[in-house]
Each structure stands twice: as structure tokens, then as C-alpha cells.
Amino acid sequence: MARIGQLGCFIKYGNPGEYRQKEHMIKPLIRSALERFLAGRGYRLVANNYFNWPLRDAEFMEIFQRQARFVWKDTSGPKIQRMYMVRNLLLSTKGLNGDWAECGVFKGSTSLIMAEYNRRYKLLQPGFNMHLFDSFEGLTDPAPADAGTNMVKGDYLGTEDEVKHNLAEYDFIVYHRGWIPDRFPDVADRKFSFVHIDVDFYEPVRDSLDFFLPRMVNGGVVVLDDYGCAQTPGALLAADEMAVRYGCHIGGLPFGQAVIVVRDRIE
């Protein structure tokens, strides 16, 4: 794929000022012509002049390859970038006194990333655990607020046995099988420093935020996997509603996730 930033190199003018002035006029024209040309052939331009963090991080790639044995293998799409963002935000919570949770586990990929970083860096303080919530039957039926999604009931099915097998080496994981929010009372008296919510549809995203936001410690982080995804409009709606209810700021991230850093909740 051509790098649009390089096209200017082929256009020469009398002096640098003139060059810059004309480059500003010509670049957008070339870009839009190129975009139209590529779009007609099923391609789109992507910026490739940025540091690709996950691919340059040998430790992360080693951990990513472990989960690739059972799910996500693509190293060029958004999933690897999202997992790397989970890794970054998770590391930032080291030292906080709280449990972790993942709502929506599938085969255990992001859970594995979280668990392995904990094993290596002792991020969870003594006495705290990582709680996994899942139906282990795939997605629920979409609600009216999910209109427009292309996902259906039963998608992303990972069985409890599979996940337990994939995460067998981590003894700090606690499983809560059931439809969200039915098993949340299991941890009603706990507080949390990191929560990853990846349940795609309006109702479980709403119920997860409604439960966890008031239980986050100061500086705790909630990552929403589906916030900016065109296929999951209900997740965005639910998150925006809960952010208003709890007075939180939601920060959209480049690969469709969002982050909430929780302040002034529990001391």
C-alpha cells in the first residue's frame, strides 16, 4: 500500500515555501483520487507511519501467540491492538487494592492476557482474585436497543470446560457461570481495580456497568471492548447511559474500545 506521506517527494518546486504551499493543495487532491480508486476495488488507505506497539513488544507477542492457539490469530486487525490496550491499562493499575473481572470471556483470550501479566508482574495484591462472568452459551438475544447488529444469540460460544482448560495454569481465577447479572451477587461485597466488559449487547453492558462502576476503587479502570463498534450499537448506548448515571467520563480509543478511569468512588 502506498504511503500518502511519500507522494510529496515526487513533486518539486522552485523553493521550499512554494513547495509546501502547493503540497498542501495537491496532497488532498491526490489523496481523495487515490481513496476513490482504491474504494472501487475494495481497499482503503490506512496510516502506516505509526509505531505498531504490539508487534514491537516481544513479551506481549509471546503471550498473544498462546491465546492464538485457541482464538484470535490475526496480527493486523483491531483485536490485537485492543488486547495490547488491555495490557497497558492493566499494568497501570498495579498496586491498587481490588479484584479484577472480565464480563464476556468467549474462549478466554483476553483473560489469558490479563492472567499472564498478573503472573509475571504480580499486579493483583495478595488476597485479590480475577472473576470471570459468562453464560458459556454465547450471546443473548439482542434487545431493541441493539437494532442494526449483525450478531445473533449463541455467537461467541466458548464452553466452561474449554475456558478452564485454556486457563488451567492460573489458580487466582474464579468462574461465575450464568447470564449477566444473575451471578453478580457472588461478588457484591468485593471492590475492583480492573474490569473488562466484552458482552456486545445493550442489556449485559448496562447491567455490568451498573454493578461494577459503584464498586471500583479510586483509580480503577473499566475497559469497554465494544463501545465504538458499528456492529454493537447497543453497547455504546448502554455505556453512555451509565456514564451519565455515575458521572463518569468515557474515553473512546482508536480501535473501538473505551476506557473509564474511576475516581472518588470507594476509599
Chain positions contacting ligand SAM, by CB under 6 A: 71, 104-106, 109-110, 134-135, 138-140, 156, 158, 179-180, 198-200, 204
| Complex with ligand SAM: residue 109 or 193, whichever CB lies closer | 109
CA distance 131 to 143: 26
8 Å CB contact between 145 and 235: no
Stretch (H or E) spanning 234: helix 233-246
Stretch (H or E) spanning 162: helix 160-166
Q: Tell me the one-letter amino acid at 245.
A: R
| Complex with ligand SAM: residue 123 or 180, whichever CB lies closer | 180
CA distance 128 to 100: 8
Task: Let me know if 210 is exposed, middle or buried by CB neighbors in 10 A (0-12, 13-18, 19+).
Answer: middle
> Strands 216-224 and 192-197, how do they pair?
parallel
CA distance 260 to 88: 14
CB of 178 to ligand SAM, least distance (A): 7
φ/ψ bin of 264: left (φ > 0), alpha (ψ from -120 to 50), beta (otherwise): left
Residue 186: Cβ within 10 Å count: 14
- Could you give the dihedral angle defined by the CA atoms of residues 199, 200, 202 and 203, in that order, rounded to the nearest 10 degrees? -30
CB of 138 to ligand SAM, least distance (A): 5
CB of 180 to ligand SAM, least distance (A): 4
| Complex with ligand SAM: residue 98 or 104, whichever CB lies closer | 104
CB of 231 to ligand SAM, least distance (A): 10
CB of 217 to ligand SAM, least distance (A): 22
CB of 123 to ligand SAM, least distance (A): 18
| Complex with ligand SAM: residue 156 or 211, whichever CB lies closer | 156
N-term to C-term CA, the chain: 51
Grid coordinates belonging to 28: 488532498
CB of 6 to ligand SAM, least distance (A): 36
